[in-house]
Amino acid sequence: MINPASVMKLMNLKNRFSETHPKFVAFCSNVLGNGVEEGTVVELTVTKPGERPVTTNIKVRESDIELLNELKGLSGKQ
């Protein structure tokens, strides 16, 4: 069973993240919001202060899409 207090905390953190990083949230909504098809490549680069960038990527599989759809269901965005 899901703890309602944990859900509320998570939603508050999500809302604060959205307020702090609106361009990132808009980007994700625009690119990923319409669904991602199998074979799509998602790439992420992280650059820590004073360090070289580190990049990785994934090629989306059917099981990844299932996870994304479940997460969308939890957020109420179907």
User: Do 24 and 43 share a domain, yes or no?
Assistant: no
User: Do 40 and 78 share a domain, yes or no?
Assistant: yes
pLDDT at position 75 is 61
Integer Cα distance of 10 and 57 in angstroms = 26
pLDDT at position 36 is 86
pLDDT at position 76 is 59
User: Do 78 and 43 share a domain, yes or no?
Assistant: yes
pLDDT category of residue 12 using cuts at 50, 70 and 90: very high
- Report the SS3 class of residue 5: helix
State the average pLDDT over residues 10-26: 93
User: Do 26 and 46 share a domain, yes or no?
Assistant: no
Integer Cα distance of 44 and 28 in angstroms = 12
User: Do 20 and 40 share a domain, yes or no?
Assistant: no
The whole-model pTM stands at 0.65
- Report the SS3 class of residue 36: coil
Residue 37 scores a pLDDT above 80: yes
User: Do 40 and 30 share a domain, yes or no?
Assistant: no
Can you give the residue range of the structural domain that contains 67? 36-78
Contact criterion met (CB below 8 Å) for 45 and 55: yes
User: Do 73 and 40 share a domain, yes or no?
Assistant: yes
